[in-house]
Amino acid sequence: GQQVMQIPQYQHVQEGEDFTTYCNSSTTLSNIQWYKQRPGGHPVFLIQLVKSGEVKKQKRLTFQFGEAKKNSSLHITATQTTDVGTYFCAGNYGNKLVFGAGTILRVKS
Amino acid sequence: DVKVTQSSRYLVKRTGEKVFLECVQDMDHENMFWYRQDPGLGLRLIYFSYDVKMKEKGDIPEGYSVSREKKERFSLILESASTNQTSMYLCASSLGLGDGYTFGSGTRLTVV
């Protein structure tokens, strides 16, 4: 079945450092979505990328969708303690969303 | 804002019990989903529904069933709870199949 691989599984950064998480699919995606789950919370939708090569920004967060629509990344510039949580990508294969395993981000202040 | 409400935040049930998890959304979304979340495994789709009385199996439907009698309500049923069904259960809804999902707060189910 469809799978979305997400790396790294875990990252611990110093406050102010950058952070990146990557997602890869073996097959072409209709779109890719990103979610954030705070500790003890539920996933919250951040953004959706649809077009090949698309780049979107939300303040310090930059989202990219690969040219082949098989991979994506989320980059956070100058992390803050409020960025802690698990970041999930989710690949849309037409009528089904498949989630990556998530990247847990911890930020040391 | 769309709100997805799950009836219980925490549940403890005994092995063999029939368990009902309820989910209600208030924004007339067509699609509703049930996921379970386990450490290291991410979110895995159990069942989804794209219309009233319609249901589709997800990746791990064994041991579960669902009911969608009304558009706003999607119920997950554990026919005979087992310890390996101890998990966090998340309900979600979306307007269209390609749209972002709104999740409920989750139900942490423990089967003893």
- Please state, in angstroms and as integers, the Cα–Cα distance from residue A11 to each residue in A14, A45, A85, following that order: 10, 21, 10
Note the pLDDT tens digit of each residue in A53-96. 999 999 999 999 999 999 999 999 999 999 999 999 999 987 77
- DSSP structure string for A58-98: ETTEEEEE-TTSSEEEEEESS--GGG-EEEEEEEE-SS-EE
Question: What is the band of B66 on the pLDDT scale with cuts at 50, 70, 90?
Answer: very high
What are the φ/ψ torsions at residue B82 (nearest 5 degrees)? -130, 160
Q: Report the residue from B41, B45, B103 with minimal CB separation from A42.
A: B103
Q: Are residues B90 and A95, on separate chains, in Cβ contact within 8 Å?
A: no
Q: Contacts of residue B59 in chain A, CB cutoff 8 Å?
A: 1
Top pLDDT among B27 and B48 is at: B48
Note the pLDDT tens digit of each residue in A3-44. 899 999 999 999 999 999 999 999 999 999 999 999 999 999
Residue A29: which of A1, A77, A69, A65 has the closest Cα? A69
- DSSP structure string for B44-72: EEEEEESSTT--EE-S--TTEEEEEEETT
SS3 B85: helix
Q: Contacts of residue B33 in chain A, CB cutoff 8 Å?
A: 97
Instruction: Compute the distance between CA of residue B91 and CA of residue B35 in angstroms, rounded to an integer.
Output: 6
Q: Contacts of residue A34 in chain B, CB cutoff 8 Å?
A: none
Q: Are residues A88 and B45, on separate chains, in Cβ contact within 8 Å?
A: no
Q: Tell me, what's the pLDDT at B40?
A: 81
CB atoms within 10 A of CB A41: 13
Instruction: Compute the distance between CA of residue A101 and CA of residue B29 in angstroms, rounded to an integer.
Output: 26
Instruction: Compute the distance between CA of residue A79 and CA of residue A69 in angstroms, rounded to an integer.
Output: 27
Q: Are residues B41 and A41, on separate chains, in Cβ contact within 8 Å?
A: no
Percent of chain B with pLDDT over 70: 98
Place of tokens 């698309």: A54
DSSP 8-state code for residue B17: -
CB atoms within 10 A of CB B64: 20
Identify any residues that bridge with A85 across adjacent strands, giving them in sequence order. Answer: A105
Please indicate if any CB of chain A lies within 8 Å of the CB of B39: no
Taking the CA atoms of B100, A64, A58 and A40 in sequence, report the sign of the dihedral they define.
Answer: positive
Position A45: which residue type? F
Question: How many residues does this entry show for chain B?
Answer: 112
Residue B17: which of B71, B77, B89, B57 has the closest Cα? B77
Task: Taking residues B41-53, report their average pLDDT.
Answer: 92
Instruction: Compute the distance between CA of residue A43 and CA of residue A78 in angstroms, rounded to an integer.
Output: 22
Please indicate if any CB of chain B lies within 8 Å of the CB of A65: no
Question: What is the band of B2 on the pLDDT scale with cuts at 50, 70, 90?
Answer: low
